[in-house]
Amino acid sequence: MDENKAATFRDVLGSRYPWLTDNSLDVLMDKAKKTMTDTLDEETNGRSLSRELESAGRTEEAIRHLKRHLEKNPNDADTWYALGELLCKAGRAEEGYKAFARGRDLF
C-alpha cells in the first residue's frame, strides 16, 4: 500500500467527516488496509500476502499460506511456482523442485 496515498485518504476522510476522532480514523484505515490485503490475496491465490510475508523474513509462514491456498485450488500453476521458489529459498530444494514440476504439469 502506498503510505502517502493512504495518508492523503485519511486526511480527506478527516476533513469531510470532522466528527471522526483520530482513533476512529485509525480504525477505518486499518480496516481498509486489511480489506485491500485480503482482496489482493484472494485475487492472486495467496501470492500477494506470501510475498509480503517473505519480504518480512517470515518465509515459513509464507510457505504455509501458499499451501493453504493450494488446498482450495490445487490447479493453480502460478501458485505452485511461487511455492517452489519459496521452498528453494528456504533450503528445501527437493520440495521446491516437486512444486515446480507440479506447476509445470498444469500448463
- Give the model's pLDDT for residue 1: 67
Q: Residue for cell digits 480489506? A: 35
Q: Report which of residues 13 and 42 the model is more confident about.
A: 13
- 20-65 tens-digit pLDDT: 999 999 999 999 989 988 898 888 888 988 998 999 999 999 999 9
- Look at the pTM and tell me if it is higher than 0.95: no
Contact 87, 96 (CB under 8 A): yes
51-55 long-range contacts, Cβ below 8 Å, gap at least 24? 54/86, 54/89
CA 8 to chain centre: 23
- Give the model's pLDDT for residue 38: 86
